[in-house]
Amino acid sequence: MEILKQRILKDGVVKEGNVLKVDRFLNHQMDVKLFNDIGEEFAKRFAGTGVNKILTIESSGIGIACIAAQHFNNCPVIFAKKTLSKNLDGEMFVTQVKSYTKGVTYDVMVSEKYLGKGDKVLIIDDFLANGCALMGLIDIVKQSGAELAGAGIVIEKGFQEGGK
């Protein structure tokens, strides 16, 4: 997407440790018009796959996933939670994910109530670095018995291993 590329060149900052900072428009302050354009692009790329659920991981993927869902007949958005809370009840699909930017490993979870056989899941996330979050979400889809329709990533760090 040329509009995204230009926005990264204009407002993105590369920090020490090869961390791309895009908080001016993607993951702190959010440009909803840009999110809508991204969602529209995901809808084009995954047209005909039967997506009926979108899965992301908290927290930066949630905004993008919600806007994108409008382009998939307003399908539900599920986000894998990184912390157990009193609001979570029942059985959970659980996997471990290591955060590249935080250097922390999380147990991430999705309630079994929201994902299962018959679902066609599109994973959406803001970044693909080493692929840990993506692989964790794929594991949750597999545990649930749902079908993986694909993954939509806003920014892939091509110099890292995640794309493989």
Per residue in 73-86, pLDDT (tens digit) is: 989 999 999 877 66
pTM of the model: 0.91
pLDDT for position 142: 98
Say what percent of the chain tops pLDDT 70: 92
Q: How confident is the model at residue 89 (pLDDT cuts 50, 70, 90)?
A: confident
> Of the candidates 96, 101, 154, which has an alpha carbon nearest to the alpha carbon of residue 128?
154
pLDDT at 59 over 80: yes
pLDDT at 163 over 80: no
pLDDT at 4 over 80: yes
Instruction: Say how far apart CA 140 and CA 138 lie, in whole Å.
Output: 5
pLDDT for position 83: 77
What's the first-to-final CA gap in the chain, in angstroms? 21
pLDDT, the chain, mean? 90
Ranges 43-47, 112-116, 158-162: which has the least confidence: 158-162
Q: Strand pairing of 77-80 and 53-57?
A: parallel
Token readout for 69 is 């869902």
